[in-house]
């Protein structure tokens, strides 16, 4: 009987001497809930650009790139958006001689978004990041727990109005435990994957509210060109539009800016006409006919309500 008890105790100890890792339970639940909410999305898709995140911590610059890549992946999972290629964004920023920090300004973000044909542009920064290792154990066993924690700030700018429609911070934590018994088990070094796991945990906390705010903004596209025989808009089948849809057309005016805060409140706009989709064109464009008023290149189109 005594031998059986000892064997059971040793088995339990050895089972705890391997490597285990976890992301905080609430983040895992949040990921599952987000996927359930957004995976069934069917409707008009918005074009979104994600800029490289600024790393304001003392850790390597890879954190900023990793954070923006994770956000792109999470937004892609929803199926709600047409995501602008990073190469196009980088090229425009280079041409405009803008750094990543410059994109944080809502006016600059709106300007870049217009050049990309995006409806919203997402910017962000890593404001806090830290790693910690804790050791402990008894005579026969030794254990070690590693953790990485971070804080991510995110802003979403509505390109049409220049307004910041979402701004929030998320905190993420990832942990990994390892140990040995009588010298047998794992003696792992620092696990760099914890960085990515903590960033993902922080971003997942933000993603559901971010998606909600982007989707609540007014969907728009632009009149791409007007020729003697045809009028083209820069959205089509891939964006979820259908033949026969009616769109209202608006001509934009100057920005309205708060004199006290400098925040863009919106833009003046006046309805100039209406159009109807008569034919799909290319990968994601359409040909329209004017049903009311007049239309010019650069005008803004909204779905007729």
DSSP 64-122: HHHHHHHHHHHHHHHT-EEEPPHHHHHHHHHHTT--GGGGGSHHHHHHHHHHHT-SEEE
φ and ψ of 237, to 5 deg: -60, -45
Transcribe 273-294 into DSSP letters: EEEEEEEEETTTEEEEEEEEE-
pTM, full prediction: 0.73
Sorted by where each starts, the structural domains of the chain and their CATH numbers stand as 19-216 (3.40.50.10610), 221-303 (2.40.10.410)
Provide, for the chain, the percentages of residues in helix, strand and coil under a 3-state DSSP scheme, each rounded to the nearest 5: 30, 40, 30
Mean per-residue pLDDT of the chain: 79
- Average of per-residue pLDDT across 220-234: 94
Q: How far is residue 62 CA from its own chain's centroid?
A: 17
| pLDDT for the residue 37 | 41
CB 289 within 8 A of CB 276: yes
Take residue 10 and report the two structure tokens written for it: 């040793």
Take residue 41 and report the two structure tokens written for it: 């999305």
- Average of per-residue pLDDT across 1-6: 46
Predicted confidence (pLDDT) at residue 78 exceeds the cutoff of 80: yes
Predicted confidence (pLDDT) at residue 244 exceeds the cutoff of 90: yes
CA angle 52, 55, 57 (to 5 degrees): 170
Query: 189 or 39, which is more confident?
Result: 189
Query: 88 or 263, which is more confident?
Result: 88
Pairing of strands 46-50, 81-83: parallel
Helix (H, G, I), strand (E, B) or coil at 41: coil
Say which residues have a Cβ less than 8 Å from residue 132's Cβ, sequence separation at least 6.
Answer: 146, 147, 148, 149
| pLDDT for the residue 259 | 85
Predicted confidence (pLDDT) at residue 95 exceeds the cutoff of 90: no
| H or E element in which residue 30 lies | helix 25-38
CB 231 within 8 A of CB 299: no
List, for residues 228-239, the tens digit of each pLDDT value. Answer: 999 999 999 999
């Amino acid at each position: 009987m005594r031998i059986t008890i000892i064997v059971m105790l040793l088995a339990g100890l050895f089972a705890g001497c391997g490597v285990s890792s976890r992301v905080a339970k609430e983040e895992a639940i949040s990921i599952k809930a987000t996927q359930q909410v957004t995976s069934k999305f069917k409707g008009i898709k918005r074009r979104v650009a994600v800029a490289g995140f600024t790393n304001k911590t003392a850790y390597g610059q890879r954190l900023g790139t990793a954070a923006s890549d994770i956000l792109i992946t999470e937004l892609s999972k929803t199926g709600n958006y047409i995501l602008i290629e990073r190469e196009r964004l980088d090229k425009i920023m280079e041409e405009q001689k803008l750094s990543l920090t410059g994109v944080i300004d809502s006016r600059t973000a709106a300007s870049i978004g217009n050049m990309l044909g995006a409806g919203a542009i997402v910017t962000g920064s890593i404001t806090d990041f830290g790693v910690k290792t804790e050791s402990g154990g008894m005579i026969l066993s030794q254990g070690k727990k590693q953790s990485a924690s971070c804080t991510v700030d995110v802003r979403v700018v509505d390109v049409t109005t220049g307004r910041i429609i979402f701004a929030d911070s998320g905190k993420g934590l990832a942990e990994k435990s390892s140990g040995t018994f009588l010298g047998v088990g794992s003696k792992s070094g620092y696990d760099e994957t914890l960085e990515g796991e903590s960033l993902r945990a922080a971003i997942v906390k933000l993603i559901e509210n971010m998606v909600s705010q982007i989707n609540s903004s007014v969907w728009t596209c632009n009149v791409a060109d007007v020729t003697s025989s045809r009028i083209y808009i820069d959205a089509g089948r891939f964006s979820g539009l259908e033949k026969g849809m009616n769109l209202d057309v608006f001509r934009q005016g100057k920005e309205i800016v708060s004199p006290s805060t400098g925040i863009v409140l919106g833009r003046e706009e006046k309805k100039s006409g209406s159009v109807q989709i008569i034919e799909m064109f290319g990968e994601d464009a359409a040909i329209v006919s004017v049903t009311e008023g007049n239309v010019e290149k650069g005008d803004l189109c909204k779905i007729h309500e």
